[in-house]
Amino acid sequence: MSFAVHEPYSIPASYQVQDSREFEREALLTPIQADAVVIGAGITGNTLSIHLADAGKSVVQLEAKVPGWGGSGRAFGSVVPCHKNNEEAIIHHYGQQRGTAVIDALAQGPALVAELLNRYKIDAAFDSGGWAFGAHTKAFEKILQKRAEYWQSRGADVEYLNATEFSQLIGSEYYRAGLVDRRALSINPLAYAQGLFRAAHQLGAKQYTNTPAVDVKQKPDGNWRVTTPQGSVECENIYFCTNAYTKGIWPGLEKGFVPVRGFGATTAVIDPAQLAEVLPQNHFITDTRQLWSGIRKLPSGQIHLGVGGPAMGANGRADLKTASKRLKQVFPSIEFEWQESWSGWIAISTDQFPRILHLADGAWAAQGYSGRGLAMATLLGRELSLCNGSSEREDLMLPVEKNPRVPFHRFSPLGAAMLIRWYAFQDYMAEKNK
């Protein structure tokens, strides 16, 4: 089997606030043994390594590049207490009991992340008033109002704001109304992933960076042998935490999702007087449009946007022209120039729900976060640590599935490209009729 993660862009410099030499590790040059091998050092793999090491297991963690190299080090950085699919859809998908457990676990997602930041002294959370979710059309005003009522009835710190209140909150008159969710966190996702990696190391996980797993084979005694370019590891349990960056390491594993490229961009440092007018309480914004809408301030004084770009291949850069238009629409008086843009791969599942996969006895994976993975990867890292051998536990947050295949996977990029165009058209029409 061959290994090749096709990621042409490096991790954003805007996120690289720590000396990366701290995360360099020795080379794996010999055959070794462990209870568990964790492949990938994003949030899933790092959280899993922490839980396994904490439970007394010997853990070897293999990372093809550096910790946070995948989606974890490139994300927009919003940790929100809900899924992309609404609560009704979650219950419909998982049933009442499990659906309610998923909704509750996600509602606790930001608190769980905050708890880990605190426990492992990870300096990754930005000072933020929470999530300001804007309604960009009249129809969405009602939907957000209903959403606020739902969460308020459950005691959550969520409030529906009319146009005037919302504009005071974010420093812009662009939206018709909005919802503020004070449970959400705004983080540096790379610092979070690196901090978890460090914590796993401190708990005893043996970590190897720039060390891809290139082959995985089951031995006659049932154990696994994971081969790297210069060494190998034998283990009882192996965990694939490679999400959208999965390629060729387990037959068909990358066919369980459609890889779509997401983009981020940061401005140069903004004049402080102007910046004070933008998001005065440091909320991060997203809105009810279909495509990228995130805007937030970074502690460095830059503005950070989630932006569009060529989503279906590794070529091409972020669409900064559209991003400039959007930033000017929402904050017309701001003067800025772009400093940096980047991209990262997102694993979209057919129904946008993530999966825990039981690939074979002792072989497990989690994937398909569909662009909402910061809290979910933290949760599924914990859930994977409860999976071992042949046991398919009933008490996990998600049902355990076999390797799912996206139907007609070869053609899925075409389908995804058409869907993205459709979303862009919907956003365009909504903007026109605003």
The residues of the shown chain that bind ligand FAD, judged by CB under 6 A, are 3, 5, 39-45, 62-65, 69-72, 74-78, 212-213, 241-245, 249, 262-264, 344-346, 369, 371-375, 377
- Name which of 172 and 209 has its Cβ closer to ligand FAD: 209
Min dist CB 65 to ligand FAD, Å, is 5
- Name which of 167 and 243 has its Cβ closer to ligand FAD: 243
Min dist CB 92 to ligand FAD, Å, is 22
SS3 letters across 87-132 = HHHHHHHHCHHHHHHHHHHHHCHHHHHHHHHHHCCCCCECCCCCEE
What are the two backbone dihedrals, phi and then psi, of residue 271, each rounded to the nearest 5 degrees?
-55, 125
Residue pair 326/153 in contact (Cβ under 8 Å)? The answer is no
- Name which of 168 and 300 has its Cβ closer to ligand FAD: 300
Query: CA 263, 264, 268: angle at the middle one, nearest 5?
Result: 145
Min dist CB 315 to ligand FAD, Å, is 16
Residue 191: how many CB atoms within 10 A of its CB?
21
Percent helix, strand and coil across the chain, each rounded to 5? 35, 20, 45
Min dist CB 227 to ligand FAD, Å, is 10
Min dist CB 271 to ligand FAD, Å, is 26
Residue 190: how many CB atoms within 10 A of its CB?
26
Residue pair 37/58 in contact (Cβ under 8 Å)? The answer is no
- Name which of 116 and 176 has its Cβ closer to ligand FAD: 116
- Name which of 39 and 158 has its Cβ closer to ligand FAD: 39
**Nearest residue by C-beta to ligand FAD?**
373
- Name which of 167 and 266 has its Cβ closer to ligand FAD: 266
Residue found under tokens 């978890």: 196
Structure token pair of residue 257: 């999702």
Rg of the chain over CA atoms, in angstroms?
21
Min dist CB 37 to ligand FAD, Å, is 10
